[in-house]
Every structure is written in structure tokens, then in C-alpha cells.
Copies of this chain bind each other. A is one copy, B any other.
């Protein structure tokens, strides 16, 4: 088993880019990742995409001049990008391949206008329980239990949109007030428009290889992937909480990490504001019922004790499904190298990425990947 490091990362711009295509988006991410890694030679590629057409992985790579090596396309809903990362990590760690590219690609603006249309085979979605409604139910439960306030929900949006002001690749950014967030159009009560991730096109990539001790490398200290965990309706927690908690426990064990409080910078799956709150609690970064407060009081803001989503997160950087996980990885790598510009977390040494994938049915098929990255 080799120690594995991220040797290079890259991303496209994120946003509605209907005039772009998967090849153009991938070209931006891959060329930057290769330049960053100082090589354009890899032995295999894992591609994460949800809505990419059949066979698109090899086709996109061929257009970039990458042929003659194994290409495996994986799909695990919103976690597709970090599953590609996790599989690439496994391949390097086991010695199966020497240097591997993980690539996430998604173009959603040409397929969807608003929330992802439920599949005809998804009874929950067709009954109205699409993604925004699912997260809204979690938010309503939190409100009912007194575990969050409306203002705290909105504070996550305020924080992440403000973070994105320092991220030139982000889809949306802005200085909003809690009142403005709450006054934006209602999408799924209590979640307003500014509390929902946008429709995004984008790509992100990472080059993984054995650690060599070079100063630029960011070490993968632990990766964990769980899937196929249906929501246990009898759990005292809302949808997603227990899967994040259990996956994080695996990742912390793999990383030999005793205290989540040691993590300096975090990117989590804030597809909706309540998502960040539940996730920070499930990760052990905030105590139960304290995730909203952490956002509202600045604990998870840039300059706070444990900044969460300095990139702007899915809410503001954008959420091109298959690319999201690798965009999160890229952000943490930049943070740990001190390359994050105006959104830099000072002297960040230990970082974490969490991605949550819902399935075709919001209640089934979810997947979670948690990765701990470290500047050696």
C-alpha cells in the first residue's frame, strides 16, 4: 500500500454555460490539473458524471488527446466526482496504476431548468418529493425541534455567497443580508431561492500518484465511501445525517484522526442551506443542534475557527453534479497549499471534503464520500 498524494488539480469556470460542451469544460480542468502536476501522462482515468451521455468519458478524453488507457465512468449521483476520486485513490494505493486522473464533468443548463426532473420510475419524486422538498422537510424538522432558526438557515447562504466573492470561478457571489435571503423567492418552504444550489455546468480534475515528499503534494490521509444506505425512517436524525456520520467515522479511522476539531478547512455538500448545517453536525465539527449557530456566529466563516465552504460551496460556486466532488477537492488542495487568494484559511494544514449523493429516488440510492487531506 503506497501513500497517495494529489499532485495536481484544476477546474473549469462554474456556471450556466450552454454554449460550452463537456469537451470544453473538461479541457479547462484537465489542462490545469496536468500543468499543476507537471505531467500530462496518466495510466488510467476515472470519470464521474451523472447525466453525461453513454460512452462520454472516453469520447471527451479522446478529444483532449488522451487515448489508449483505461477509462472507467462511474455514476453515484451527486457523489460521482468524489467516487471517481476514491476509486483513483484506491488504484494508486493498491499499486494497480502509477498515476491516475480523476475527472468530473457535468452540463446541466442544457438539460434542466430548475430542480432536477424526477425520473418516471421515481414514485417519491413524481409525488413532489424532489430534492428541494426533501431538504425542506429536513429543515422543517430542525425548526420544529428547535435545532435551527430561520435566520441561522439564511446565515449559511449569507456566509457562502460572501465567501464566493473571493472565488473568481464561482457561479454566484454577493453580499446578502439574512433578510434578503429570507425574502428571496420561496422554493420549498422554508428554503428560499438563495438557499438552493443553482443549475451549473462545469468540470474538475485531480491527478493522484504515490507520495514523493515534494512540497507541492497534498497527501490523502484517508478516504471513505459508503452507499446503498437507505434512510432509516426510525432514526432520530433527518435524511443524510447518519450516512455522513458513519462515512466520516470510517474516514477518520483511515486517517488516524481522533478529533474533528483538528480540521482546519472543510468543503461540504451544501446543496441547500440545511445540508451544510446537518453535515457539519454529522461530521462532529458542530455539536448536535449547533450547526446553524456556528454559521450565524462566524465559527464556520472565513476567519472563524473552522471555515466551511470557503469556495462558496455548492450554493455559490455552483453544483455541476459529477464535477462537484472534484471541485471540492481542488479547493481544499489550494487551501492547504496556501493558494486560495482572498479566501485563504490561514496556515491550513488539515482539510476535509464531504460529498453526498442522493439517488434517482431521494430516499434511496444515496452515497457519501469523506476525504481527509493533509499538507505534509
Contacts and interface: CB of A to CB of B under 8 A. Distances in A.
Interface in A53-94: 53-59, 61-63, 66-77, 83, 87, 90, 94
Interface of A: 21-22, 45, 50-51, 53-59, 61-63, 66-77, 83, 87, 90, 94, 96, 116, 119, 121-122, 225-230, 357-361, 364-367
A50 B54 contact: yes
A73 B76 contact: yes
Output the residue of A22, A76, A227, A359 with the most chain B CB within 10 A. A227
Contact of A228 (B58, B122, B359, B364): B58
A360 B61 CA distance: 13
A21 B121 contact: yes
A226 B59 contact: no
A360 B55 contact: yes
Contact of A58 (B45, B72, B366): B366
Classify the interface of chain A: helix, strand, loop or mixed. Answer: loop
Contacts of A96: 90, 94
B228 A70 contact: yes
A71 B360 contact: no
Given A67-B230, A75-B75, A76-B72, A58 B94 contact: no
Contacts of A75: 54-55, 57, 73-75
Output the residue of A21, A55, A96, A361 with the most chain B CB within 10 A. A55
A227 B61 CA distance: 11
Contacts of A45: 228
Contact of A62 (B62, B71, B116, B365): B365
Given A227-B71, A228-B70, A77 B62 contact: no
20 contacts: A21-B121, A45-B228, A51-B54, A55-B357, A55-B358, A55-B366, A57-B365, A58-B365, A58-B367, A61-B228, A62-B230, A62-B365, A67-B228, A67-B230, A70-B226, A71-B367, A72-B74, A72-B227, A74-B75, A75-B75
Contact of A59 (B71, B72, B361): B361
Output the residue of A53, A225, A364 with the most chain B CB within 10 A. A53
A71 B228 contact: yes
A121 B20 CA distance: 12
A111 to B, nearest CB: 11
Contacts of A63: 364
A361 B187 CA distance: 38
A299 B226 CA distance: 49
Which 9 A-B pairs rank lowest in CB-CB distance, beginning with the nearest?
A55-B359, A58-B365, A55-B365, A59-B365, A55-B360, A59-B364, A53-B119, A55-B77, A71-B228
A54 B228 contact: no
Contact of A72 (B83, B119, B358, B365): B83
